[in-house]
Chains A and B, each alone.
Chain A
Amino acid sequence: MAETTAPSAMSPAEEEAVYYHEAALNSAWTGARLAAGGMSFLFGCFVFAFFYLKALNSHGLWYTSASRPQLWLGTLIMVLVVASALLQWAVLQMIKRGNKSAWMAGAVVALVLGLAAVVCSILQLMYIPFWPGASGFASVFVGFTPVFLTFAFCAMVWLEILIMRARPIPQISFVEQPPTFAEAFAVQRFQAALSSFTFVWNYLAAVALVAWILFYFVH
C-alpha cells in the first residue's frame, strides 16, 4: 500500500484530513482482525456442538449412515470457496504492484467462484438426502450451512462493491502517487478495504476447509 506522505507545512485542516485518513486505514486493518475474532466464536459454537454431540452420542444417534451429505457437492463448495479466496489473494499482490486490470479480471473470477459456492450450498440444502433432525450430525450440518453461506454471500456483496469502486480509479493511480490528497486518499482507502476483504475472505475459506474436514471425514 502506498505510504502517506505528509508535507512539512500543512494547514490544520490538511493535518486533520491526513490524521483521520490514517485512522481510517488503521480501522480497516483492525476491524478485519476483530471481525475474524468475533466470527471465530460464532463458528466455534458449531465446532463445539459437533464435538460435544459426537462425544455424548445421545441414544446412539450422533451419526447414522442415512445422514450423510453428498461428498462431491461438499467438496465442490469447499474447492470453489478456497479457489476464490486464493485467487483474490494472488490478484491482491498484483494490484499492490500496480496492475489494476489483472486484479479486476481476477476479482471478477473470484466473485463468480464465490457466488457459485453460495448457489451450490443452497442446492445442497434443498436436496439434502436426510431429515434435519435425523441425528446430531445432521443438525450441526443443517445449522452450520446457512450461517456460512450467509457470510459467504455478504463477502461477495463486499467484493462486488470493491470492483465497482475500483472502476473509476485510473490505472496510473496504482502505479504512482496521485497529485492531490483527495485522489491519493481514495486509492489508499480502496486498497485498505481490499486488503481487509482479502483477509476476511481467506479466513472464511479456512472455515470452509475446516468444516469440510469435519463434516466429511471426522464424523
Chain B
Amino acid sequence: MAIETQPERAQGAGGGLPAEGGGGRPWWARPAIHTAIVGAVVGYLLGHALGDYLTGATGAANQYPNVPLSDSEDWPIVLGYTLAIIGWLAGLGVFNDILRQMVGRPISGNGRAHQNSGLARFFRYELDHKVVGIQYLVGMIIYFCTAGLLAMAMRTELLSPVNHVFTSQVYIEIVGEHGTMMMMLMTSVIVGPFGNYLVPIMIGSKRVAFPRIEALSFWLTPMAFLILLSGFMLGGFPFGWTGYAPLSIQATVGADSYAVAFGLMGVSVALAGFNIIVTVICYRAPGMRWGRLPMFVWSMVSTSFLFVLAAPVLFAGMYMLIMDRTAQTAFFEDSLGGSSYLYENVFWFFGHPEVYILALPGFGIVSELIPVFCRKPLFAYKVAGAGMIGVSLLSFFVWQHHLFDSGINPDMRPLFMVTTELISIPTGFIYLVALGTFWKAKIRFRVPMLFCIAMYFNFLIGGISGVYLSDVPADTTEHGSFFVMAHFHYTIMGGLIFAFMAGIYYWLPKMTGIKLNEKLGLWHFWIMFIAFNSTFLPLFAVGDAGQPRRVFEYATNLQGLNDWVSISSYFLGFSILLFVINFVWSTVIVREREVGNPWQSRGLEWQVSSPPPADNFDQIPVVLSSPYDYGVKDAQPVADLHPPAGVVTAAIMSADAARVEA
C-alpha cells in the first residue's frame, strides 16, 4: 500500500531487491518488460471490449448534447487505456506483494540471486534506487528525442508560408504531441534520473523510504509515453498541450490519449516526489543537518513538494475531462451548468507550478556544480535555499496570469501581475548566488560548467521576457504569439535542458563509472548553445511581428526569419544527435573507465567509488562539514565514511531525545 513501510527483508542493497525474484522460473516467466507488454495488450483488448459492451448495453453511446463532434468511442478507448495500464503493472509484478500480504504471506525478496546483476535488471520492476535512476535517464533521453523530432517536423512545415508538407490537421496534431510530450514527460527529466539516483547518496543513505513507489513512478512513464503517442493513430488532439475546454471535450478520441497520458504522468510525478521528500526528511545520515544539505537536494525537495501538491490538481483536471467525455458529466460544458473557465483554473493551478517544477531542478544542478568548477564555497548558501523555497511557494499564487486575456475579472489582473513579478525576486536570489560564487573565481571551463553558464545566460533572457509578459498590457499584445513561445522555450529548454546536459556530463562518471568524451562534449555544447539561441531569439521578433502559435500559415514577409529559425533548429537537432552519439560511443563502445573523482568534488556522492557500491556506503557515514568548503583552509573532510562504533548510536539517541523533548 501507498505508505506501507518496507520490512527489512524487502530492502536489499540501494533500497531493495526485485519485488518478484522469480525463484527458479525460466526468464520468460519472470515478471519483466515482456510480461508487462503482454499484460498491457491483454488489458487494452479487455478494456476496449468492456467499453463496447457498456456503450451498447447502457445506451451511453448517444452523442454529448450540444457537442456534435463527440463520439461514442470514448468509453472503449478510455477503458482500454485504463486496463492496459493495470495489465502493464500486473505484468511487471507490481501487485504481487500486495496480493501476497492480503493472504497473509510474507513479501518476496528473500533470494538475492537477481540483485544488481546484468542488463536484465533495467527491464524489471527493480527496487534499487540506482537502477531506477538509470531507467529514468534512458527513458527521458528517448522521450526527449521523440518530442524533439516532432519539433523539427513542425519547423520543416514552417519553412514556407504557402507550400505545405503536412495538412493543417496533421500539423496541429504534431504541435499537440510535441508540446504535451515535452511538458508532461520532461517534468521528471532531472528528478527522475538524478533525483532518484543521487539524493540518497548525497544525504548519506543506503536506501530510499519507499522503493516500490519509486520504481512504480518510473514504470508509469513508458505507458504515459506510449498512450500519448497512440493519439496519432486516433486522429490526434487539436488543442496543444493545454487541452482547453470546450475544444478538448468536443475533440475526437485522440483527446482521450492526451487526458489519460497526462493524468497518468501526474500520478507518476506525485509518487516520485512523495518518496524523495520522505527520504530526505527521514533518511539523512548523522550530521547531515538541513544547513549542510547539498543545494541539489534542496531543489529536489522544493520540486517534490510541488509534485505532491500540484500533480493531484492535474490528475483531477484530466479526470474531469475524461468524465465529461465518457460519463457525460458537464464540468466544462457551459450550457449544462458547467464552465470552461473551471478547466482553465484547474489546469493552470497545476500548470504554473509546473513551470517551476521544470525550473527548480535546473537551478539545483547549476548551484551544485558552480562551486566545484569555481573552487570556491557557494556564495550565500541560505539565500539559495530561500530562493528555491520562495519560488515554490509563490508558484501557487500566479496561475491567473495565464487567464489575463481569457476571461479573468479585470479587477483581479493587477493582483496576479504583482504576484508574477514578485516571483522574479527569489529567482533573482539564484542569480545573486551565482554572481557571488563567480566573483574572483578561477573558473574551470569544463563541459558541465559551460552548460551551467549557458543555463544562466538562457534563463536570464527567458526570465526577463517573462517579467515583461507578466505586465498586463504587454501580455495582451503578445498573447498567443511566437513571442510567448520563445519566452518559455528560453526558460524550459534553455534552463532545464541545458542544466540536464550539465548534470549528465558531470554525474555520468558517477553513475556508470564512464566519462563522456570531452571533445565531442565541447562540440555538442557549442553547437547546441549557438543553435539554440539562433533558433529561439528570432522567434521573439517573429512573435512581435504578429505570427500566431499553432498556425501553419503565416505572413509571407516573415518567411526569411522563419527559414532562419528552421535551419537553426536542424543544427540544434544535430547537436542533440551529437550528444546521443557521444553517449552511446562513450558508454557502449569505448567504455573508458573513470573510477575516481574527475572534478575533485567535495560532494558526498563523490566520496564513494564510481559507480557506487551496491549498498552506497560500507557503513552509515557521519557528515562532518559542508560540501562547498572549496579553498577553505583547514576545512574538515565532508564525512567520515567509517565512523567508530557508537557514533551512529549516539546520533540515534540524540534524535530520540530531541523527539521526546519536542
Contacts and interface: CB of A to CB of B under 8 A. Distances in A.
A complexed with B: yes
Given A31-B209, A143-B331, A193 B323 contact: no
B610 to A, nearest CB: 23
A58 B313 contact: no
B33 to A, nearest CB: 26
Contact of B278 (A27, A45, A59): A27
Contacts of B205: 23
Contact of A167 (B104, B206, B324): B104
Interface string A36-63: 0111011011101100110011110111
Contacts of B652: 4, 6, 15, 18-19, 22
B7 A186 contact: yes
Interface stretch (B335-343, B380-388, B471-479, B483-491): B335-343
Contacts of B270: 38
Contacts of A157: 1, 98, 102
B477 to A, nearest CB: 29
Given A18-B652, A35-B2, A147-B319, A9 B645 contact: yes
Nearest to A199: B3
A83 interface: no
B274 A31 contact: yes
A77 interface: no
Interface stretch (A68-76, A133-141, A171-179): A133-141
Given A15-B645, A25-B5, A31-B209, A48 B345 contact: yes
B4 A139 contact: no
A34 interface: yes
A133 B98 contact: no
B1 A142 contact: no
B518 interface: no
Given A27-B278, A164-B101, A133 B333 contact: yes
Contacts of A28: 3-5
Contacts of A57: 337
Given A30-B278, A41-B310, A48-B345, A20 B323 contact: no
A30 B278 CA distance: 6
B280 to A, nearest CB: 10
A215 interface: no
Contacts of A122: none
Contact of B5 (A19, A34, A147, A189): A189
Given A15-B649, A16-B619, A20-B206, A133 B1 contact: no
A196 B315 contact: no
A164 B1 contact: no
B425 interface: no
Contacts of A15: 620, 645-646, 648-649, 652
B281 interface: yes
Interface in B590-604: none
Interface string A5-27: 01011111001111111111111
B653 interface: yes
Given A27-B282, A45-B346, A58 B338 contact: yes
A131 interface: yes
Contact of B3 (A9, A23, A196): A196
A160 B102 contact: yes
B653 A37 contact: no
B320 interface: yes
Given A30-B278, A133-B329, A139 B338 contact: yes
A165 interface: yes
Contacts of B341: 52, 56
Contacts, number: 225
Nearest to B286: A19
B517 interface: no
A38 B323 contact: no
A131 B328 contact: yes
A38 B308 contact: yes
Contacts of A24: 5-6, 209, 282
Given A18-B649, A34-B277, A23 B209 contact: yes
Contacts of A31: 2-3, 5, 209-210, 274, 278
A109 interface: no
B123 to A, nearest CB: 28
A212 interface: no
A192 interface: yes
A58 to B, nearest CB: 5
A59 to B, nearest CB: 6
B334 A59 contact: yes
Interface residue tally of chain A, by bracket?
Answer: 35 or more
Contacts of A12: 619, 645, 648
Given A56-B339, A161-B102, A19 B308 contact: no
Contacts of A135: 330, 336-337
Contacts of A142: 323, 327, 329
Interface residues of B, number: 69
Contacts of B335: 58-59, 61
Interface string B604-625: 0000000000000001100000
Nearest to B266: A42
A3 B653 CA distance: 11
A140 B329 CA distance: 8
A103 interface: no
A144 to B, nearest CB: 10
Interface string B205-225: 111011000000000000000
Contacts of A137: 337
A158 interface: yes
A45 B336 contact: no
Interface string B398-429: 00000000000000000000000000000000
B281 A30 contact: yes
Interface string A123-156: 0000000011111111110110001000000100
A192 B335 CA distance: 50
B312 interface: yes
Contacts of A45: 312-313, 316-317, 320, 346
A26 B281 contact: yes
A108 interface: no
A19 B620 contact: yes
B269 to A, nearest CB: 11
A27 B648 CA distance: 19
Contacts of A20: 8, 11, 206-207, 283
A37 B8 contact: no
A40 to B, nearest CB: 8
Contacts of A21: 8
A24 B15 CA distance: 12
Contact of B338 (A4, A53, A63, A131): A53
Given A28-B3, A30-B282, A41-B313, A6 B98 contact: no
A89 interface: no
A167 B282 CA distance: 29
A183 to B, nearest CB: 12
A200 to B, nearest CB: 7
A112 interface: no
16 contacts: A10-B649, A15-B646, A19-B652, A26-B282, A37-B309, A39-B312, A41-B312, A45-B316, A49-B320, A49-B346, A136-B336, A139-B331, A161-B1, A161-B4, A186-B7, A192-B5
Given A45-B313, A165-B104, 12 more contacts: A10-B646, A10-B649, A15-B645, A23-B282, A30-B277, A34-B308, A58-B337, A61-B336, A62-B337, A131-B328, A132-B323, A134-B336
Interface of B: 1-8, 11, 64-65, 98, 101-104, 205-207, 209-210, 270, 274, 277-279, 281-283, 308-313, 315-317, 319-320, 323-324, 327-331, 333-339, 341-342, 345-346, 619-620, 645-646, 648-649, 651-653, 655-656
